[in-house]
């Protein structure tokens, strides 16, 4: 499967320190092998969207036409993820 990262997701990754960047990027690239891992959960109120956690970060995505669209990546301990996702959807 191919990956498509939104500008917001790319900008967020660019701002991370190298250790956190590697952690989140590894999780995102793992989606190419398994787009629906056991730890992925559906997002209520956002049909088709799923989320996966990587440490203190959350990645929201959907799959369409064999492409994984990573829409939002952000810290998971606040509502920033869902505010950003609400603006995208």
> Any bridge partners for residue 22, and if so which?
none
Give me the CATH code for the 2-88 domain, please: 3.30.2310.20
Residue appearing with tokens 């799959």: 63
Separation of alpha carbons 51 and 57, rounded Å? 10
pLDDT per position as a tens digit, 41-88 = 998 888 999 999 999 999 999 999 999 999 999 888 767 777 777 766
Q: What is the pLDDT of residue 76?
A: 83
69 CB-near residues (< 8 Å, 6+ apart): 4, 6, 61, 62, 63
pLDDT per position as a tens digit, 23-40 = 999 999 999 999 999 999
The DSSP-derived string for 6-74 is -HHHHHHHHHS-HHHHHHHHHHHHHHHH-SS-TT-EEPTTSTTEEEEEETTEEEEEEEETTEEEEEEEE
């Amino acid at each position: 499967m191919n990956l498509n990262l939104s500008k917001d997701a790319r900008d967020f990754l660019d701002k991370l320190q190298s250790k956190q960047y590697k952690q989140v990027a590894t999780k995102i690239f793992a989606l190419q092998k398994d787009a629906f891992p056991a730890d992925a959960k559906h997002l209520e109120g956002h049909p088709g969207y799923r989320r996966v956690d990587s440490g203190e970060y959350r990645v929201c995505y959907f799959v369409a036409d064999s492409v994984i669209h990573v829409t939002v990546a952000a810290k998971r301990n606040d509502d920033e993820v869902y505010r950003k996702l609400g603006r995208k959807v």
